[in-house]
Amino acid sequence: MSDKVLMKGNEAIAEAAIMAGCRHYFGYPITPQTEIAAYMARRMPKIGGTFLQAESEVAAINMVYGAASAGVRVMTSSSSPGISLKSEGISYLAGADLPAVIVNAQRGGPGLGGIQPSQSDYFQATRGGGHGDYHMIVLAPASVQEMASLTIKAFDLADKWRTPCMILADGTTGQMMEPVSFDFDIAPAPEKPWALTGTQGKRAHNITNSLYLSPEELETHNFNRFKKYDEIMKTEPIAEEYKADDADIILVAFGIASRVSKNAVDEARGAGIKAGLIRPITLWPFPSDILFKHTEHARHFISVELSMGQLIEDVMLSTRCRRPVTLCNRAGGMIPVPSQILQAIQNVAANGGN
Amino acid sequence: MTTEYLFAGFGGQGLLFSGKVLAYKALIEDKFVSWLPSYGPEMRGGTANCSVIISDSPVGAPIITNPDVLVAMNLPSLDKYENAVKKGGMIIVDSSLIERKVKRDDVSVFYVPATDMASKSGSPTLANMILFGKMLKETGTLNEETLNAALGKCISARHKDMFDLNLNAVKIGCAE
Amino acid sequence: MTVFKKPHALTDAPFHYCPGCTHGIIHRLVAQAIDELGIEGKTVGVAPVGCSVMAYDYFSCDMTEAAHGRAPAVATGLKRANPENIVFTYQGDGDLASIGTAETVHAAARNENITVIFINNAIYGMTGGQMAPTSLVGQVTQTSPYGRDPALCGYPVKICEMLSELEGPEYLERVAVNSVKNVNAAYKAIKKAFQNQIEGRGFSLVEVLSACPTNWGKTPSESLKWIDSAMIPYYPLGVYKDRSAGIFGGKTGGACDRSESAEKCACSGKADCGGRPVNAGSSNGSDCGKNACGAK
């Protein structure tokens, strides 16, 4: 038997966060991510950590802001409506250059929406979500193993770049159980000389802040932050390429949609159609170069998503309109079946890929 | 090879649990596996189902459209999923709870009065494990060693009595 | 000879506050308490949104700037991350008693071991004089141009009274900074609110009645008098809760009057009480109606 355990995706996130050195979790219950809070509530008191159920998502993200200011690894989690409430705080985290990890186990929207899986917070996550010029790093796990590994990566990236980092999961990846190995090498968190731990009478006071009333000063901060984003866009994009090298038709999908898409690719290949899949793992920075590279041979791209056409915009931008892009989607909590995606592939193939 | 199992019934019947035991058993047998529950706002009594996929290669979508094996523990589940089962697949019916017969003739069907049997055995809540035992037997996947290990993973060592009762229920199902 | 000088816990940055504004006095009192308790090196402050938004530039300790109303949540995060730090928030009435009411109530309910300095000047200052949750009935502001009308927007919020109903908080006191005597009492309360945190006693809030001559449309000296004549009658000064001293205002109504339970009163025997009920809690209807309000 292997050293793997069977675990829900949400629980894998929680356990991985603890392994990454997260000892502070602030949250508020909402389906379908509450397992994360429950796991933290069980574990944190036993390892000297803090689990606190806040009075609201708004309070939780601001507790995260406080703990991040204090220099510790800190996490919160929620689902779509709760992330809208947290967006104010995420903007402040970004504006104060504070590292923190935010999990969104997406459910259908808008409004109260539903509780079934969705990917319709793609724009919110990849464009920032809150007010102002900012991004956060967004990671999209597609398996329980990645729920764990990308959580650890999220803490590393957040600290490395001093930025909030989001795990954009969904109801399915959160609720499903798969074997997961926790055999990770954990890098120690970097020193944080900017943290608010008290001057101890030895240095000038540190300030974490996003307020700059002088427009010149604020512009400078924003320009500098976007230089950082340029570096992130150069160095951090990752994607999985599945049978894409010789593909005529390339599906682009992340998270749960990519799992279904993989089945469809296999079925299409079985039917003699050269289909492939590109699965962005970082949604921001988006792996645009990888997509563009494949415009050399692929004749058509299909965006497979659990939303009304959000990912497709990044696919169009990345392929620079060199090839047609088609949407294949479900929404509101519905998940496409492989045959729906296969049909979309076959439709494109029948049309000569045009 | 990939086999897709769908356990369907009411919330509280233990379907998610038997799915988990099956998934752990497959993990211990070094297979690729996924386990996916349905989830809803109700905690008890609503429809509940759980999809388990066991494969020799990495599992793609964890969602099942056409199961190889259906374990049905109430009429709505049988009504909903009977026609989804693959041709040549298998349906196991708790005949204590479902009076009607399966209409298809291209699948193998087993009727087990599991809820009555469970009551008689003194563990009325373990009908799920009786059906599970029957399913292991009929799919030819019974392996006592990995079954024991899987049950050990799913039941805390503090509840040795529950372990024994569950194992006993599986054996009752196997003998049926 | 004692030479009057700026506390070390204040930086050299000049305050941006208007003439006659009492934020400067309160900043000084906070800094003086930090100095006297010798805690500057381990103190972390949380600035609000409002006139004191740039308080982070004025205090020498580590500082952060919170979103509007969220200071108690931010302070919770800071304190839970590093319990050895002394964490305080400095918040105005819009910040604490309007947009941040939930954070305030729940930090108090949790008895979060933090210190909250609550500046109540009955108006939104930074945005130019709009009605605050604590604006008095009839008070003319930019957004209550005909005077605050309870039929339209209800009554001013009494934070100390409200929080005193909670089991959680350790210490709640209302003070003012409109006279030497009151400033001295305010200092004692602020210092106690920090001392409580050092001793791990829990949530301590000091509400400071403060002047805003600019937006009240009064001279600085008129403003100080208005605190006495208009604010204090509605917002009586005193200790609303002091668990360690056995004062539970919300539960006992006006019971913490000197005459009834002087031995339990935090300022028993001191002139500060001035014959006013130390606690004007009003949960027990009949008692308080005469005792608390009648004593003015």
Say whether both A167 and A262 belong to one domain: no
Cβ pair A262:B60 closer than 8 A: yes
pLDDT tens sequence across A8-22? 999 999 999 999 999
Under a CB-based contact definition with an 8 Å cutoff, are residues A278 and A287 in contact?
yes
Q: What is the CA radius of gyration of chain A?
A: 21
Residue A255's closest chain B neighbor by CA? B61
Contacts of C61 in chain A (CB under 8 A): 198-199, 205
Of residues C195 and B48, which shows the higher confidence score?
A: C195
At residue C292, the pLDDT reads 34
Tell me how close the Cα of B37 comes to any Cα of chain A, in angstroms. 7
Mean pLDDT of chain B: 94
Q: How many domains does chain B have?
A: 1
Say whether both A257 and A227 belong to one domain: no
pLDDT tens sequence across C251-294? 444 434 333 333 444 434 343 433 334 444 333 333 333 333 32
CA–chain centroid gap for A286, Å, is: 11
Contacts of A177 in chain B (CB under 8 A): 20, 23, 34-36
* Chain A stretch 36-95, residues whose beta carbon is closer than 8 A to a beta carbon of chain C: 50, 52, 54-56, 58-60, 62-72, 74, 88-89, 92
At residue C59, the pLDDT reads 98
Please state the ipTM of this predicted complex: 0.93
Residue A215 lies in a domain: no
Global confidence as pTM: 0.91
**What parts of chain A have a pLDDT lower than 70?**
1-2, 354
Across the interface, which of A50, A54, A208 has its CB nearest the CB of C73?
A: A54
Which partners does chain C have (≥3 C-beta pairs < 8 Å)?
Answer: A
At residue B176, the pLDDT reads 85
What is the C-alpha to C-alpha distance for residues A83 and B119, in angstroms, rounded to an integer?
Answer: 47
* Cβ-based neighbours of A302, under 8 Å, separated by 6 or more: A249, A250, A251, A252, A325, A326, A327, A328, A341, A344, A345, A348
Contacts of C79 in chain A (CB under 8 A): 66
pLDDT tens sequence across A66-90? 999 999 999 999 999 999 999 999 9
Please choose, from the candidates C88, C76, C109, C264, the residue with its C-alpha nearest in 3D space to the C-alpha of residue C191: C88
Of residues B102 and C290, which shows the higher confidence score?
A: B102
Reported confidence tier of residue B42, pLDDT bands at 50, 70, 90: low
Say whether both A14 and A68 belong to one domain: yes
| Long-range contacts of residues C189-192, Cβ cutoff 8 Å, at least 24 apart | C190/C26, C190/C29, C190/C30, C190/C33, C190/C117, C191/C32, C191/C33, C191/C36, C191/C37
Contacts of A256 in chain B (CB under 8 A): 61-62
pLDDT tens sequence across C110-155? 999 999 999 999 999 999 999 999 999 999 999 999 999 999 999 9
At residue B45, the pLDDT reads 63
H helices of chain B, where?
A: 15-28, 75-81, 114-120, 127-139, 144-154, 160-175
Say whether both A226 and A272 belong to one domain: no
Contacts of C42 in chain A (CB under 8 A): 198, 200
Under a CB-based contact definition with an 8 Å cutoff, are residues C62 and C45 in contact?
yes
Residue A103, SS3?
Answer: strand
Say whether both A310 and A185 belong to one domain: no
Domain span at residue A346 reads 240-350
| CATH value at residue A122 | 3.40.50.970
| Bridge partners, residue C172, by sequence | C205, C241
Say whether both A267 and A332 belong to one domain: yes
> Any chain A CB within 8 A of the CB of C13?
no
Tell me how close the Cα of B34 comes to any Cα of chain A, in angstroms. 5
At residue A221, the pLDDT reads 97
Contacts of C76 in chain A (CB under 8 A): 52, 59, 63, 66
Reported confidence tier of residue B43, pLDDT bands at 50, 70, 90: low
What's the Cα-to-Cα distance from C100 to each of A78, A336, C66, C176, rounded to whole Å? 21, 43, 11, 22
At residue C255, the pLDDT reads 34
At residue C289, the pLDDT reads 31
Domain span at residue B149 reads 2-175
Domain ranges of chain C: 23-245, 246-296
Which strand ranges, in their side-by-side order, compose the sheet holding B69-72?
Answer: A5-8, A177-180, B32-37, B47-55, B2-10, B69-72, B90-94, B108-112
- Cβ count within 10 A of residue A166: 27
Cβ pair A70:C82 closer than 8 A: yes
Residue with tokens 């599945």: A242
Domain boundary among A235, A261, A283: A235
What is the C-alpha to C-alpha distance for residues C90 and C118, in angstroms, rounded to an integer?
Answer: 6
pLDDT tens sequence across C197-241? 999 999 999 999 999 999 999 999 999 999 999 999 999 999 999
Residue A9 lies in a domain: yes
H helices of chain C, where?
A: 23-37, 71-81, 93-94, 101-109, 150-153, 159-164, 180-198, 213-216, 220-226, 232-234, 249-252, 258-261, 286-294
Residue A312 lies in a domain: yes
Helix (H) or strand (E) holding A235: helix A215-235
Check pLDDT > 80 for residue B39.
no
Q: How many domains does chain A have?
A: 2
* Backbone angles phi and psi of C173, in degrees to 5: -140, 145
Q: Do chains B and C touch (3 or more CB pairs under 8 A)?
A: no
What CATH topology corresponds to C23-245?
Rossmann fold (3.40.50)
Residue with tokens 């903007």: A91
Helix (H) or strand (E) holding A234: helix A215-235
Cβ pair A176:B27 closer than 8 A: no
At residue B48, the pLDDT reads 85
Residue A268 lies in a domain: yes
What is the C-alpha to C-alpha distance for residues A103 and A151, in angstroms, rounded to an integer?
Answer: 9
Cβ pair B28:A179 closer than 8 A: no
| CATH value at residue B52 | 3.40.920.10
